[in-house]
């Protein structure tokens, strides 16, 4: 095994030599063997052990075990104890995901602080096959079938070409001791079923299963890469990104061979689950929207508009912002200045002039509501705000982002940046003119 | 099940209604149930049964069984008996592949002759999962994981959303009789292992395995489609096809994210097996080549050149073509005319003039050999033909396609279309001038 590993390192990860390496060590068979192999090959290694405190005393015995191991081999060791259950509750994560986040965050901290070049983990070929089969039973896509990457940023997995059997054989031949792996109980149930009942039958069918599986993974990774090339290219043609807003051109996506498939690929990293609702947006009315845990996708005329939920004003009836009589300027939710002037100078969309005596304080800045009316300048009669928006071809986003300036009775003074209400305009009898400007 | 099938047909294959359908019926559970379902739903069906004669008396009993079935239900039936073993031997095919070829060829003949609209087969969800797992054990790529298509040309598989269990339940409830499926023994071994030992465990892990698997297949099919879109696009940029020759631009393929992955996709339908040799061609010397069962891939300067083996002159030392003294024209292997002339008119690459008295008949037309020398006109001394080709920047293909005209002693008279040998040129003492022209 030493020879095979040396050859594998020389061919596939030669850059590990003479580098500062940090081995993630649980105390289980795989990581202990990885440590033994690299120590035997005289690599520059340190150890990092996470005590997740998920199995009571057993967790502490694991910690003690790896601590002793590091003393025997004189390798530097880092140990950290985590309150995994609290972290998983606080962040609404499964224990397994919580442990993974804690682990990798800490490893990267160690890398930064102690200038490690690479983090090594002991994943092997059987892990890859088990993960493949777990994803198969759950239902997945191509991304669930491409395996654990050999190299991912600064994380390297040198044992991926090896089977559990080879690792076990090496451990026995070298009289290596280890502790049983700690792992999430429900995953363990599934993994054990696959490990003991499914994979042995597959290996009966094809005794060189793992090596043909390795080739299969490579093929799928290559297909995934080609697919990503295509998505990158299509993105550049049909997506416009501006600040936190991503606009997908519906017309262009409809011209592709399989619009839904492309839409899935474009949005798959934004936590959507109701894909049929997402696909329906392509032909829905403007204003329809679908939410994921983190994002909103909004149909707006010719575009699907993706934005983070935090950037979206979900509630049309939000709180009002008060403006008192003596305030000369407000900055939130929108920047307004108030100035009493002698005469009216240039008017533009950013500036209005009102008869100050007609106002009732406190003025309010707020969002619009359905059913509200405006008495627009340069027009007789009143007009529904929704009709005004429609006639002026406001997009759904523009409507959402529009603020109203109102008086204390909630009458509209100004659709800010768009249209003044004539009820408060200056007239020939105006005595005090107030100039209001947005910046 | 009738309801579920009706709904499935209405949604996914509504075009089957009022069409002339041909059901492929083996006599096994699946096809007998498909027949029963469609007969119950009053579809316009006929039956087609292949007797592959692979299981002696059992095969004949199958035939008798479906024949009786058709009489009971008054459906038209077509039955054909095949010598499958002979066909598989003659065509060097596995029994399974041979049976498939015979079956589908015959079905399409029936479709043509009797104007059927669609051929229906009884593949179901478990078949799909078994095939997926068989491909997994053998090693495969994305194309091995996309499942049996619901619709493929005029072949439709209406039972694909159903599990074997549902089909069996329907058969029992309706007291349907069937015969055990005939199938290839070695595949049966593998399928049985998967069916009885692997799939039940996967179903324990996820009881709704088949429906999540259906979704997985859809995802993979969509990924496959996106990948094909990309390959189609890349092909149009880096491939030139001219008659039977396909030229792949090496420089352009090297600029892609993963040249080997693209090369695999471009060539995967041409029976190559030694993929590492294929990939090595990208950086190999001009003239290197790799053969598949059907094709040759040749490195030629800036291109990889793909051609069918039958179009390639594999043997450089091929037979010579004789030309007798009295022949005025030959057409094979190249068109040449011979004419005795009084004087030399315009010379060009397609025409030479030689001193007829210097020739020894029969002349020969043949390919060149390594080590041959030319005594070129307009030059002193001799020159190796290989050097001449190199200096004149012949591509490998051009060298292969070049013919020599020689005299009976095998001395070169003319590198046809390229360079005359001065040993046979006309001189001031020439009495008979022979004009030789290619067309």
- Bridge partners of B239, per DSSP, are B248
Q: At what angle do helices B29-40 and B164-173 cross, to 10 degrees?
A: 60
Distance from CA of A184 to the nearest CA of B (A): 16
Q: How many CB pairs under 8 A join A and B?
A: 127
Distance, in Å, from the CA atom of B193 to the CA atom of B146, rounded to the nearest integer, reads 22
pLDDT exceeds cutoff 70 at B317: no
Do A297 and A306 contact (CB within 8 A), yes or no?
Answer: yes
Distance, in Å, from the CA atom of A145 to the CA atom of A134, rounded to the nearest integer, reads 10
> Could you list the pLDDT tens digit for every one of the 439 residues in chain A?
888 888 888 888 889 988 999 999 999 999 999 999 999 999 999 999 999 998 888 899 999 999 999 999 889 999 999 999 999 898 888 888 899 999 999 999 999 999 999 999 999 999 999 999 999 999 999 999 999 888 889 999 999 989 999 999 999 999 999 997 655 455 678 888 999 999 999 999 999 999 999 999 999 999 999 999 999 999 999 999 887 789 999 999 999 999 999 999 999 888 888 889 999 999 998 889 899 888 899 998 899 999 887 655 554 446 678 899 888 999 888 899 999 998 888 778 899 999 999 999 999 998 888 888 999 988 889 999 989 998 888 888 788 888 999 998 889 999 999 999 999 999 889 999 999 999 8
A231 interfaces chain B, CB cutoff of 8 Å? yes
pLDDT of residue B336: 93
Of A142, A229, A233, the CB nearest to B142: A142
Distance, in Å, from the CA atom of B216 to the CA atom of A144, rounded to the nearest integer, reads 10
Which of A130, A195, A205 is the best substitution to test chain B (most B C-beta atoms within 10 A)? A205
Which of B134, B136, B193, B267 is the best substitution to test chain A (most A C-beta atoms within 10 A)? B136
- Bridge partners of A148, per DSSP, are none
pLDDT of residue B315: 47
A379 vs B199 pLDDT, higher one: B199
Start-end ranges of CATH 3.40.50.620 in chain A?
A: 2-205
Q: Which fold has domain B321-438?
A: Phenylalanyl-tRNA Synthetase; Chain B, domain 3 (3.50.40)
Residues of A in contact with B226 (CB under 8 A): 227, 230-231, 257-258, 261-262, 265
In this predicted model, what pLDDT tens digit does every residue of B365-384 receive, in sequence order?
Answer: 988 888 889 999 888 899 99
Q: Which fold has domain B221-311?
A: 3.30.465
A182 secondary structure, DSSP code: P
Q: Which residue has the tokens 């049309």?
A: A316
Question: What is the average per-residue pLDDT within B32-43?
Answer: 94
Residues in chain A: 439
Contact across the interface for B220 and A141, Cβ inside 8 Å = yes
Burial grade of A112 (CB within 10 A; 0-12, 13-18, 19 or more): exposed
Diameter over CA atoms, chain A: 103
Do B103 and B26 contact (CB within 8 A), yes or no?
Answer: no
Contact across the interface for A225 and B138, Cβ inside 8 Å = no
Distance, in Å, from the CA atom of B188 to the CA atom of B201, rounded to the nearest integer, reads 19
pLDDT of residue B95: 85
Do A47 and A75 contact (CB within 8 A), yes or no?
Answer: yes
Of B222, B233, B260, the CB nearest to A258: B222
Do A296 and A304 contact (CB within 8 A), yes or no?
Answer: no
Do A100 and A32 contact (CB within 8 A), yes or no?
Answer: no
A341 interfaces chain B, CB cutoff of 8 Å? no
Checking DSSP bridges between strand B336-341 and strand B295-300, what pairing results, if any? unpaired
Contact across the interface for B205 and A137, Cβ inside 8 Å = yes
Q: At what angle do helices A29-40 and A2-12 cross, to 10 degrees?
A: 80
Do A311 and A400 contact (CB within 8 A), yes or no?
Answer: no
A237 interfaces chain B, CB cutoff of 8 Å? no
Residues of A in contact with B266 (CB under 8 A): none
A365 token code pair: 């800045």
B190 interfaces chain A, CB cutoff of 8 Å? yes
Closest CA to A164 of A215, A124, A205, A211: A124
Contact across the interface for B202 and A260, Cβ inside 8 Å = no
Question: What is the average per-residue pLDDT within B91-118?
Answer: 92
In this predicted model, what pLDDT tens digit does every residue of B140-152 receive, in sequence order?
Answer: 999 999 998 888 8
Of A193, A256, A257, the CB nearest to B204: A193
Distance, in Å, from the CA atom of B206 to the CA atom of B131, rounded to the nearest integer, reads 19
Contact across the interface for A222 and B133, Cβ inside 8 Å = no
Checking DSSP bridges between strand B20-24 and strand B118-120, what pairing results, if any? parallel
Q: Which residues 240-259 of A are in CB contact (within 8 Å) with B?
A: 256-258
Start-end ranges of CATH 3.50.40.10 in chain B?
A: 321-438
Q: Which residue has the tokens 């077509």?
A: B78
Contact across the interface for A198 and B201, Cβ inside 8 Å = yes
Distance, in Å, from the CA atom of B8 to the CA atom of B32, rounded to the nearest integer, reads 19
Q: What is the CATH number of domain B2-205?
A: 3.40.50.620
Do B413 and B353 contact (CB within 8 A), yes or no?
Answer: no
pLDDT of residue B181: 64
In this predicted model, what pLDDT tens digit does every residue of B284-306 receive, in sequence order?
Answer: 988 898 998 888 999 988 999 99
Three-state DSSP class for residue A419: strand
pLDDT of residue A316: 42
Three-state DSSP class for residue B353: strand
Distance, in Å, from the CA atom of A268 to the CA atom of B222, rounded to the nearest integer, reads 13
pLDDT of residue A379: 86
Three-state DSSP class for residue B295: strand
A385 secondary structure, DSSP code: H
Start-end ranges of CATH 3.30.465.60 in chain A?
A: 221-311
CA A394 to chain centre: 30
The vertex-A334 CA angle with A333 and A336, nearest 5°, equals: 130
Of A142, A229, A233, the CB nearest to B219: A142
pLDDT exceeds cutoff 60 at B432: yes
Which of A189, A192, A204, A216 is the best substitution to test chain B (most B C-beta atoms within 10 A)? A216
Three-state DSSP class for residue A175: coil
B180 secondary structure, DSSP code: P
pLDDT exceeds cutoff 80 at B218: yes
């Amino acid at each position: 095994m030493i020879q095979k590993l040396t050859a594998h390192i020389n061919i596939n990860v030669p850059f590990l030599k003479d580098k500062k390496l940090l081995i993630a060590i649980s105390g289980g068979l795989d990581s202990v063997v990885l440590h033994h192999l690299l120590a035997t090959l005289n690599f520059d290694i340190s150890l990092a052990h996470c005590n997740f405190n998920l199995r009571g005393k057993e967790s502490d015995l694991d910690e003690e075990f790896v601590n002793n191991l590091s003393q025997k081999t004189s390798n530097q060791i880092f140990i950290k104890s985590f309150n995994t259950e609290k972290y998983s509750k606080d962040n609404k994560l499964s224990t397994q995901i919580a442990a993974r986040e804690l682990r990798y965050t800490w490893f990267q901290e160690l890398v930064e602080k102690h200038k490690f070049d690479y983090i090594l983990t002991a994943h092997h070929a059987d892990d890859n096959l088990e993960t493949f089969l777990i994803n198969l039973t759950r239902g997945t896509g191509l991304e669930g079938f491409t395996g654990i990457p050999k190299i991912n940023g600064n994380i390297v997995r040198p044992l991926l070409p090896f089977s559990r059997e080879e690792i076990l054989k090496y451990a026995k031949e070298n009289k290596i001791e280890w502790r049983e792996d700690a792992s999430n109980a429900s995953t363990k149930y599934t993994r054990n079923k696959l490990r003991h009942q499914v994979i042995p039958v597959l290996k009966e069918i094809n005794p060189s299963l793992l090596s043909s599986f390795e080739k299969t993974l490579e093929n799928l990774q290559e297909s995934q890469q080609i697919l990503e090339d295509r998505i990158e290219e299509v993105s550049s043609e049909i997506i416009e990104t501006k600040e936190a807003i991503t606009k997908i051109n519906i017309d262009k996506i409809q011209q592709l061979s399989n619009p839904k498939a492309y839409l899935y690929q474009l949005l798959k990293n934004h936590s959507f689950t109701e894909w049929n609702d997402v696909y329906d947006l392509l032909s829905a009315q403007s204003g329809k929207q679908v939410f994921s845990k983190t994002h909103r996708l909004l149909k707006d005329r010719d575009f699907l508009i993706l934005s983070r939920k935090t950037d979206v004003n979900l509630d049309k009836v939000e709180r009002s912002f008060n403006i008192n009589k003596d305030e000369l300027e407000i900055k939130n939710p929108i920047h307004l200045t108030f100035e009493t002037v002698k005469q009216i100078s240039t008017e533009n969309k950013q500036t209005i002039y009102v008869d100050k005596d007609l106002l009732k304080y406190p003025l309010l800045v707020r969002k619009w509501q359905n059913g509200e009316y405006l008495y627009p300048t340069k027009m007789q009669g009143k007009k529904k705000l929704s009709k005004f928006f429609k006639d002026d071809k406001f997009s759904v986003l523009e409507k959402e982002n529009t603020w109203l300036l109102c008086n204390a009775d909630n009458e509209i003074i100004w659709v800010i940046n768009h249209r003044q209400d004539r009820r408060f305009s200056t007239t020939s009898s105006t005595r005090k003119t107030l100039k209001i400007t947005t910046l």
